[in-house]
A and B are shown apart, each in its own frame.
Chain A
């Protein structure tokens, strides 16, 4: 069991949660060793979620190179978040929890969580900042249709940071009955490892698919990084391939790795946007899914050891790639992976793999407003 990643990670939570984290760790360790868990999850991923997702070669978006997209946008519910939500729902059932709480920013994790709760008959409460509810209204309505209760968070930044705090407070209060279905590779141990392992399917598939298509590995692998779950899942397929350059793309106004400092947020020590006193700063991104001042502790570790390079993309760059991919390839990406596309199109290198973590339907109103 990994509880720290170099100097990062750990369990910086109130004592009330420690026994629940111990229970979750034990349940996760048992599940990892249990063929029945893997069989159940595999069945769900293939017959319910739609795995494997395809790898698409795009030739018009950046004509001077061969860019492959790993199409998590084609997964059921429209983003990679379902991989994690399904796995944790199966885990929660093994732990005997019948109530699920989650946080959501863009709403994709909230929709994925509401979906698995509907599928398994679990009570579902999703915390969402009021600002994000405005930006991602279709996802709020989807969660309602799926039977989840969306609780608005009306203080602080009114975005993912406060929604996460409120979800954790709910968990502290209802810990006996409730599983906290965290949406990214953040939070106290064992969450960063659990989420990474549940998202690794992205990288495992992509590695096989690109070898089948090209007979070689990509020169560069690129993914967007908010909390970092789609990125860690994709990157894990290539971390051992020393010749493959790996690049994470943050929103320029929410660059926890690029401009942050070591701090403690939501249960883990990581690289966070904070002032010199340790007060968490506001992040700013057009993309609600990247609008978060923290990042998974393993990304901070991968940055420090130099295995992954983290760069930024601005709102305007992401919007341009959003529009261009729609026009040149007939694929409307989410604003989050549009950040990865913005850096990928100008990269040196001929063969590039980009994680297309979700589809852009949820972003139409926000993009048209710009």
Chain B
């Protein structure tokens, strides 16, 4: 059974959306803590972050959303995804402790590559550009699973699944002994099927945010279509 990871931006509606995603078949929900200058993100997630910030979603409010989401879907791993500036301001250790206390399972820091701050437990990312040495380092330092960035690029839907994915999966299998979940650019059931045939799971972000605009029912239906495909 392949793992399905869905990304949602932290907003007041997130607990209900997370419930819908889980009902649709999501195994893990990433919760974006918005940052004003998200370098790894394309326009969809960047705009969602701008909106969340305009609605007052600062670190404290995001942690509250995390806690309420955990109450709604207590058996689903919730993984905050954010940027280093948020942790720098909040305090690195304090952030990790408060995420855990709120029911978070690990975290992803998009601009904190393997090797930087090794004491901070988090899911590491590797990319097609990563050397074997860096994939091995990320695999050794990662927390539970490894996030395979399928393309050289930012988050957001693409027309096709990246041709770089098979090679990246093959190298990571050889170098790393944790589950491999592929993300960036995966948006349709066909993409999901193709990526999941290679990796152990898939991550869908930008398109999930767009579907979530239509409310919990639309998101549930979309996630179910991905679930059926993998």
A172 at the interface (CB under 8 A from B): yes
Complex: chain A residue closest to B154, CB-CB: A169
B125 in complex: contacting residue of A15, A19, A261, A280, CB < 8 Å: A15
A window 162-180: CB within 8 A of B: 162, 165, 168-169, 172-176
- Is B85 in the interface zone, CB < 8 Å from A? yes
Q: State which of B90, B110, B124 has its C-beta within 8 Å of the C-beta of A277.
A: B90
A269 to B88, CA, bound (A): 9
A16 at the B interface (CB under 8 A): yes
A275 CB to closest chain B CB (Å) equals 8
Minimum CB–CB distance from A17 to chain B (whole Å) comes to: 8
Is A57 positioned at the interface, with any CB of B under 8 Å from its CB?
no
Closest residue of chain A to B41, judged by CB? A169
Most buried by A among B39, B59, B138: B39
As a 0/1 sequence over residues 75 to 112 of chain B, the CB contacts with chain A under 8 angstroms (1 = contact) are: 00000000111111110000000000000000000111
Q: Which residue of B lies closest to A22 (CB)?
A: B131
Q: Are B90 and A176 in contact (CB under 8 A)?
A: no
B85 proximity list for chain A (CB < 8 A): 263-265, 272, 274, 278-280
- Is A14 part of the binding interface, using a Cβ–Cβ cutoff of 8 Å? yes
Chain A binding site: helix, strand, loop or mixed by DSSP?
A: mixed
A16 near B127: Cβ-Cβ < 8 Å: yes
Q: Of the candidates A173, A264, A272, which one forms a contact with B152 in the assembled complex, judged by CB atoms under 8 Å apart?
A: A173
B89, A20: Cβ atoms under 8 Å? no
Q: Is B46 an interface residue (CB 8 A)?
A: yes
The answer to whether B113 and A15 have CB atoms under 8 Å apart is yes
Nearest-neighbour CB distance to chain A for B202, whole angstroms, equals 18
Asked whether any CB of chain A lies closer than 8 Å to the CB of B221, the reply is no
- Greatest chain B CB density within 10 A among A12, A165, A280 is at A12
Closest to B129 in A: A19
Q: Chain B residues near A169 (CB, 8 Å)?
A: 39, 42, 154
Q: How far is the CA of A269 from the CA of B126 in the complex (A)?
A: 22
Q: Does residue B58 face the partner (Cβ distance < 8 Å to A)?
A: yes
Chain B residues with CB under 8 A of A266:
37, 39
Bound Cα distance from A12 to B58, whole angstroms: 21
B200 at the interface (CB under 8 A from A): no
Q: Could you tell me how many residues of chain B have their Cβ less than 8 Å away from some Cβ of chain A? A: 42
Question: Interface of chain B, helix or strand or loop or mixed?
Answer: loop
Q: Which residue of B lies closest to A16 (CB)?
A: B127
Q: In the complex, are the beta carbons of A264 and B130 less than 8 A apart?
A: no
Which of B58, B86, B116, B131 makes the CB contact (< 8 A) with A10?
B116
Contact of A11 with B113 in the complex, beta carbons under 8 Å? yes
Q: Does B50 contact A (CB under 8 A)?
A: yes
The residues of B that contact A176 with a CB separation of less than 8 Å are 129, 152
Contact partner of A18 (CB less than 8 A), chosen from B47, B84, B89, B134, is B134
A315, chain B: closest CB distance, angstroms: 24
Given A16-B127, A156-B50, A279-B35, 4 more pairs with CB closer than 8 A? A16-B149, A19-B129, A19-B131, A173-B152
Measured CB to CB, the residues of A under 8 A from B are: 10-20, 22, 155-156, 161-162, 165, 168-169, 172-176, 261-267, 269, 272, 274-280
List 30 A-B pairs, Cβ < 8 Å: A11-B113, A12-B116, A14-B40, A14-B125, A15-B134, A15-B138, A15-B149, A16-B129, A18-B130, A22-B131, A155-B50, A169-B42, A172-B40, A173-B152, A174-B152, A175-B129, A176-B152, A261-B89, A263-B85, A263-B88, A263-B89, A264-B111, A265-B85, A269-B84, A272-B85, A277-B59, A277-B90, A278-B35, A280-B36, A280-B85
